[in-house]
Amino acid sequence: MRVLITGASGLVGSALRRALIARGDEVVALGRGGGPMSWNPAAGQISADLAGIDAVVNLAGAGIGDARWTDEYKAEIRDSRVNGTVALAEAIATTTDRPSVFVSGSAIGWYGNRGREELLDERSTPGDDFLAQVCRDWEAASQPAADAGVRTACIRTGIVLSRDGGALRQMLLPFKLGVGGKIGRGSQYMSWITLDDEVRAILHIIDGELAGPINLTAPHPCTNETFTKMLGELLHRPTFLPTPLVALRALKGAELVETLLLNGQRVFPKALEADGFEFSATIVEDGLRVALR
Please write the tens of the pLDDT for every residue from 254-284: 999 999 999 999 999 999 999 999 999 999 9
| Dihedral sign computed on CA atoms, order 258, 173, 180, 107 | positive
Confidence check: pLDDT of 31 > 90? no
Instruction: Name the β-bridge partners of 82.
Output: none
Confidence check: pLDDT of 118 > 90? no
At residue 42, the pLDDT reads 87
**pLDDT tens-place string over residues 39-68:** 999 888 998 889 999 999 999 999 999 899
CB contact at 8 A, 110 and 127: yes
Average pLDDT, the chain: 95
Helix (H, G, I), strand (E, B) or coil at 216: strand
Helix (H, G, I), strand (E, B) or coil at 250: helix
Query: 9-13, 113-117, 129-133, 192-196 — which is least confidently predicted?
Result: 113-117
Query: 33-42, 86-95, 164-173 — which is least confidently predicted?
Result: 33-42
Helix (H, G, I), strand (E, B) or coil at 57: strand
For residue 168, what pLDDT band results from cuts at 50, 70 and 90? very high
Confidence check: pLDDT of 116 > 90? no
Residue 123: CA count within 13 A, CB half-sphere: 3
| Dihedral sign computed on CA atoms, order 11, 13, 17, 23 | positive
Residues in CB range of 84: below 8 A, 6 or more apart = 6, 39, 41, 42, 44, 58, 60, 61
For residue 145, what pLDDT band results from cuts at 50, 70 and 90? very high
For residue 32, what pLDDT band results from cuts at 50, 70 and 90? confident
At residue 89, the pLDDT reads 97
Helix (H, G, I), strand (E, B) or coil at 127: coil
At residue 161, the pLDDT reads 98
Cα-based distances in Å from 89 to 143, 145, 153, 283: 7, 5, 12, 35
Mean pLDDT of 242-247: 90
Residues in CB range of 130: below 8 A, 6 or more apart = 69, 74, 255, 259
**CA–CA separation, 237 and 120 (whole Å):** 33
Using CB atoms within 10 A of its CB, is residue 79 exposed (0-12), middle (13-18) or buried (19+)?
middle
- What residue ranges in the chain does DSSP mark as E strands? 2-6, 26-30, 38-40, 45-47, 55-58, 101-107, 151-157, 159-161, 189-190, 192-194, 212-216, 222-223
CB contact at 8 A, 181 and 239: yes
Confidence check: pLDDT of 151 > 90? yes
φ, ψ of residue 111 to 5 degrees: the values are: -85, -10
At residue 234, the pLDDT reads 97
For residue 34, what pLDDT band results from cuts at 50, 70 and 90? confident
Fold of the domain spanning 2-292: Rossmann fold (3.40.50)
At residue 269, the pLDDT reads 98
CB contact at 8 A, 259 and 129: yes
For residue 35, what pLDDT band results from cuts at 50, 70 and 90? confident
**CA–CA separation, 89 and 179 (whole Å):** 45
For the whole model, what pTM was predicted? 0.96
- Say how many residues make up the chain: 293
